[in-house]
């Protein structure tokens, strides 16, 4: 498909979307708060993983005023396991801005939405098109994949110029059902033309004018830059127990997994003897070693190789906060990297 045939997209996608759209909880409303919440949760997170979190979050925090004053520990616990915790902290910051500058009402102007903490071009475009039917494209990796295959455009999709061109071309063809068109593009890019799978060209509503389908080149697109090798870090994690309580500590207020709870840990994958020396340096007296478990956790740009020791100590000590198992379940948000050790208990 040449860029000149771009105008065929709405006519092909909207009927297909009407017949094939997934029944997702955030699609049952055009109210900005739940749509905004869903878009933030869906960033770098699978749809199936988000469904339960979305419903629980709304049940606990049903509106913007409640979000603006919610305790950070409650927010982190509701978000526990979703990852990228800066998202939920920015949700609260944005809610506070909405309360202070917009009288508690989610703004209707694209520029005001885009100015909220944690909201970029994609999220602002999605909210304004879905909630207000504005012709504001939401261009992410899924949409770029679809368009690069349709047009057989070999520009690497990480190039800002390509994303800007796609956005400009979409603005020109947006139909009155702007929100449905935005979601139709999302749906196509997440399903028939999804990532890490062979495109289902035979079922695609765009097959009659898609260059990739017509010329058999769809799997050659999009063109991606070469991935940088992920950095790795080794660490030894201590799951310390004493009389039914477990040692946790707070991470720093900035940086990776900021302000969340974690199990104590030290750099390097230590053998048992060295691990005991490290614990003694923390002022702890070891009563019993229960077991050792090796795990890993992959972030976007870094991989943690983690060795965990489950130990019982003779008394509460160290520079930690000691929680019961129930307190951890109810109140302490453990990021997935550390929660995987807790789930073994």
Does the structure show a pLDDT above 60 at 1? no
CATH code, 103: 1.10.340.30
Q: Total domain count for the chain?
A: 2
Domain boundary among 220, 250, 285: 220
Does the structure show a pLDDT above 90 at 228? no
- Classify each residue of 102-130 as buried b or exposed e, where b means 16 or more C-beta atoms within 10 Å of its C-beta: eeeebbeebebbbebebbebbbbbbbbbb
Examine the domain organization and report whether 167 and 256 are in the same domain.
Answer: no
- What is the predicted pLDDT for the residue at 5? 78
Examine the domain organization and report whether 241 and 216 are in the same domain.
Answer: no
- What is the predicted pLDDT for the residue at 45? 93
Does the structure show a pLDDT above 70 at 251? yes
pLDDT digits (tens, 9 = 90+) for 65-108: 999 999 999 999 999 999 999 999 999 999 999 999 999 999 99
Examine the domain organization and report whether 251 and 207 are in the same domain.
Answer: no
Q: Which of 5, 31, 39, 80 is catalytic?
A: 39
- Classify each residue of 284-304 as buried b or exposed e, where b means 16 or more C-beta atoms within 10 Å of its C-beta: bebeeeeeeeeeebebeeeeb
CATH code, 277: 3.90.79.10
Model pTM score: 0.91
Examine the domain organization and report whether 250 and 143 are in the same domain.
Answer: no
Please give the mean pLDDT across all residues of the chain. 96
| Rounded-to-integer distance, Cα 246 and Cα 312, Å | 9
* Structural domain boundaries, residue 213: 3-220
pLDDT digits (tens, 9 = 90+) for 318-336: 899 999 999 999 999 999 9
Angstrom distances, CA of residue 308 to CA of 252, 329, 341: 21, 20, 7
Examine the domain organization and report whether 273 and 195 are in the same domain.
Answer: no
Q: Is 297 helix (H, G, I), strand (E, B) or coil?
A: strand
Bridge partners of residue 241, in order along the sequence: 246, 312
Examine the domain organization and report whether 252 and 328 are in the same domain.
Answer: yes
Tell me if residue 39 is catalytic.
yes
Examine the domain organization and report whether 92 and 216 are in the same domain.
Answer: yes
Q: Please indicate, yes or no, if residue 225 is contained in any of the structural domains.
A: no
| Rounded-to-integer distance, Cα 238 and Cα 270, Å | 11
Domain boundary among 186, 220, 254: 220
| Rounded-to-integer distance, Cα 140 and Cα 147, Å | 11
Beta strand ranges found along the chain (DSSP E): 231-242, 245-250, 261-262, 265-267, 286-298, 302-313, 321-324
- Classify each residue of 162-183 as buried b or exposed e, where b means 16 or more C-beta atoms within 10 Å of its C-beta: bbebbbebbeeebeebbbbbbb
Domain boundary among 188, 220, 252: 220
Is residue 338 within 8 A of residue 263, CB to CB? The reply is yes
Examine the domain organization and report whether 41 and 159 are in the same domain.
Answer: yes
Q: Please indicate, yes or no, if residue 117 is contained in any of the structural domains.
A: yes
- What is the predicted pLDDT for the residue at 8? 94
């Amino acid at each position: 498909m040449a860029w000149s045939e771009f105008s065929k997209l709405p006519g092909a996608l909207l009927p297909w979307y009407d017949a094939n759209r997934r029944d997702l909880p955030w699609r049952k409303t055009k109210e900005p708060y739940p749509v905004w919440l869903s878009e933030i949760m869906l960033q770098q997170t699978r749809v199936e993983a988000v469904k339960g979190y979305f419903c629980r979050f709304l049940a606990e925090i049903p509106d913007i005023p409640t979000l603006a004053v919610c305790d950070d520990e409650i927010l982190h616990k509701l978000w526990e396991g979703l990852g990228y915790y800066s998202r939920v902290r920015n949700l609260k910051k944005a809610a506070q801005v909405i309360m202070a500058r917009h009288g508690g009402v989610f703004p209707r102007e694209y520029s005001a939405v885009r100015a909220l903490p944690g909201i970029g071009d994609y999220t602002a475009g999605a909210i304004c098109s879905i909630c207000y039917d504005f012709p504001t494209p939401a261009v992410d990796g899924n949409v770029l994949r679809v368009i690069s295959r349709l047009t057989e455009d070999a520009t690497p999709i990480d190039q800002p110029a390509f994303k800007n061109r796609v956005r400009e071309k979409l603005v020109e063809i947006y139909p009155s059902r702007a929100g449905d068109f935005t979601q139709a593009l999302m749906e196509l890019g997440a399903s028939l033309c999804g990532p890490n799978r062979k495109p289902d060209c035979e079922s695609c509503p765009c097959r009659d004018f898609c260059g990739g389908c017509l010329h058999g080149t769809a799997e050659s697109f999009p063109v991606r830059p070469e991935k940088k090798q992920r950095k790795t870090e080794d660490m030894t994690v201590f799951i310390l127990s004493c009389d039914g309580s477990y040692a946790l500590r707070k991470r720093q207020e900035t940086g990776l997994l900021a302000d969340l709870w974690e199990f104590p840990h030290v750099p390097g994958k230590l053998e048992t003897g060295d691990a005991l020396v490290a614990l003694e340096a923390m002022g702890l007296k070891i009563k019993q070693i229960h077991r050792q478990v090796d795990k890993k956790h992959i972030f976007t740009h870094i991989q943690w190789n983690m060795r965990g020791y489950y130990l019982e100590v003779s008394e509460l000590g160290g520079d930690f906060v000691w929680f019961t198992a129930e307190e951890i379940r109810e109140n302490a948000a453990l990021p997935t990297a550390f929660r995987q050790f807790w789930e073994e208990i």
